[in-house]
Amino acid sequence: MSIKLECHEANHVCDKNQYKEATFWEKVRLNIHLIYCRACRQYTARNTKLSKAIKNPKVKTISVADKEALQEKLQRELSK
């Protein structure tokens, strides 16, 4: 296995890394790729920023149970 990654492979590893699913060896190779590839550096930076934004505690979602309750209410009103 070569230590070098193609750009599309690097992006794939970077995507996986956003969900902590990249292996250690993949991460090493990604970082080596990033040393010499400006485009992938940019992609990685943006990707990380996106992950951070979504993890921000200010981003809230309604829980599944509450959503179901809402849906039920709406459904009842619809079938009237």
Partner 1 sequence: MPINELDPTKWVESYSDYLYNYTIVRVNDHEIAQDLISETFLAGLKSKNNFKGEATERTWLISILKRKIIDHYRKINSNKGKAEVRMQYTDEDSEGDWLEEKVSDPFDKTAEDQMENEELGTAIFGCLDGLPDKQATIFRMKTIDGFDTEAICNEFDITPSNLWVIIHRARKAMADCLETNWF
Chain residues in the site for partner 1 (CB under 8 A): 11-12, 15-16, 18-19, 21, 46-47, 49-51, 53-54, 56, 58-62, 66-67, 70-71, 73-75, 77-78
CB of 41 to partner 1, least distance (A): 14
Alpha carbon distance 14, 24 (integer Å): 12
Identity of the residue, 31 or 75, whose beta carbon is nearer to partner 1 in the bound complex = 75
Alpha carbon distance 60, 28 (integer Å): 34
CB of 77 to partner 1, least distance (A): 5
| Burial of 44 (C-beta count, 10 Å sphere; 0-12/13-18/19+) | buried
